[in-house]
Structure 1
């Protein structure tokens, strides 16, 4: 049994022009701010806009710490990918429960809305107090510190992934719930009347129709986790450092010569983020709802 979505009618040229003009002011401001910041960072990383000394064009800033940069890139991508996958799975499941209106759905929605309002800095401090070897959880379970897994500052970055997954799953749940509250609920009811079970409805109706929303939420969560500084600094290891932690450390260095190196690290982060955004739009164009 398959339930194909109805193709959307394309707007007229006048409607497209009107929509473009309405978005243009915000797009120009965003382009000016983001483009100007990235352009200045690029010039500084290439030695074309030094803070002190003569202009020395080159890519020395990118080659100053190749091993640290490679390690930071690997750690950042791994942490962001793991937390994003967990957040999408948990958030999508929570959204289905909330949209179903079953017992506990209102409580789950309230918990998700409350979680979204918690700043990541407070969330990181909470996770640290909860999962550290002398934290609340091992004390409640009666586990001695030497027998507790190294969640905080451990080799697997467990506390960092847990914080991102916790916060971003609430974000995914609320956004996907808003999508499920639209006409998708009507399709789901029609599929149920035609005899489709819960799993088949989720697989053939809910998942395909919410796929664009899930992909966008995953991209936002990944990019945020990739560029977040405070969570990785509070809960992560000292080496290897994630990209944002490495960039801030180099930027705050005593020597001004490290500023171009910090800019190079920031550009690597921006390049990965832009690549993820490009892949997201490429994936969205392949979905039936987008077409």
Structure 2
């Protein structure tokens, strides 16, 4: 049994033009704000907008710290990928539980709603107090500090991944629930009447329906984790530094000569984020529900 999406009516030229005009003010404002910031970063990274001294075009800011930038890219990609993978799995399961109308559905929905409203800074501080070697959890379990795994500031960035996965799983659960609540009931009941089991309904009904939503949520979560500063700064290691922490440290350096290097690191982060967004849209075009 397979699920085929309902064909959507394509709007007329007049309707498309009207829709474009309605979003034009917001798009123009976003282009001015983001374009100005990214443009200034590009100019400064390539030496065309120096803070002090003459204009010296070149790529010196990108090659000044190759080892640090390479390590920062590896750490940022690893943390973001791990946190996003956990968030997608947990968030999707939570969404299925919420729309199942069981006794635990309301509890999961309330927990997810509360989690979304907690700022990342407060969540990072909470996770740090919970998982540090002298934190609440080892004290409750009666585990000595030297025997407790280095979650905070450890080599595997465990606390940072836990915080990002916890927060982003609630976000993914929220948007996936919105998709399932409006469309899954009719298809799921029809599939059940046709004799499909739970595993078959999950594979042929739930996943095709939620694939675009999951992909978009995963891309948003990945990009946020990639550029998150406060979580990685509070819960991560001092070396190697992830991209946002390295960029902020260079920008706040005593020497103004490090400003172009900070801009170069920020530009590398932007390029990676844009590549992830482009790959997400390419994957979305291959999904049945998107077509």
Task: Structure 1: give runs of 5+ residues left out of the alignment.
Answer: none
Asked if structure 2 preserves the Cα contact closer than 8 Å seen for 1:99 and 1:180, the reply is yes
Structure 2 distance, partners of 1:269, 1:185, is 41
**Cα displacement string for residues 108-137 of structure 1 (whole angstroms, at most 9, x for unaligned residues):** 100000000000000000000000011000
The aligned residue for residue 61 of structure 2 is 61
The aligned residue for residue 196 of structure 2 is 196
Structure 1 distance, partners of 2:205, 2:38, is 41
The aligned residue for residue 163 of structure 1 is 163
Structure 2 distance, partners of 1:258, 1:239, is 18
TM superposition shift of 1:188: 1.1
Structure 1 distance, partners of 2:158, 2:180, is 31
Structure 2 distance, partners of 1:134, 1:57, is 50
TM superposition shift of 1:18: 1.1
Look up the SS of the partner of 1:104 in the other structure. helix
Look up the SS of the partner of 2:10 in the other structure. coil
Task: Structure 2: give runs of 5+ residues left out of the alignment.
Answer: none
Q: CA RMSD in A?
A: 0.7
Look up the SS of the partner of 1:289 in the other structure. coil
**Cα displacement string for residues 90-115 of structure 1 (whole angstroms, at most 9, x for unaligned residues):** 00000000011111101110000000
**Cα displacement string for residues 161-204 of structure 1 (whole angstroms, at most 9, x for unaligned residues):** 00000000000001100110112321111111111111111110
The aligned residue for residue 15 of structure 1 is 15
Asked if structure 2 preserves the Cα contact closer than 8 Å seen for 1:227 and 1:243, the reply is yes
**Cα displacement string for residues 49-83 of structure 1 (whole angstroms, at most 9, x for unaligned residues):** 11111111111000010000000000000000000
Structure 1 distance, partners of 2:192, 2:199, is 11
Look up the SS of the partner of 2:103 in the other structure. coil
Asked if structure 2 preserves the Cα contact closer than 8 Å seen for 1:246 and 1:262, the reply is yes
**Number of aligned residue pairs:** 291
**Cα displacement string for residues 189-220 of structure 1 (whole angstroms, at most 9, x for unaligned residues):** 11111111111111100111110000000000
The aligned residue for residue 123 of structure 1 is 123
TM-score by length of 2: 0.99
The aligned residue for residue 249 of structure 1 is 249
Structure 2 distance, partners of 1:3, 1:121, is 42
TM superposition shift of 1:7: 2.0
Asked if structure 2 preserves the Cα contact closer than 8 Å seen for 1:7 and 1:289, the reply is no
The aligned residue for residue 43 of structure 1 is 43
Structure 2 distance, partners of 1:189, 1:37, is 50
Q: How does 1:93-112 map to 2 (within 5 A)?
A: 93-112=93-112
The aligned residue for residue 71 of structure 1 is 71
Structure 2 distance, partners of 1:238, 1:114, is 31
The aligned residue for residue 280 of structure 1 is 280
TM superposition shift of 1:156: 0.3
TM-score by length of 1: 0.99
The aligned residue for residue 145 of structure 2 is 145
Runs of 4+ in 1 over 6 A off after TM superposition: none
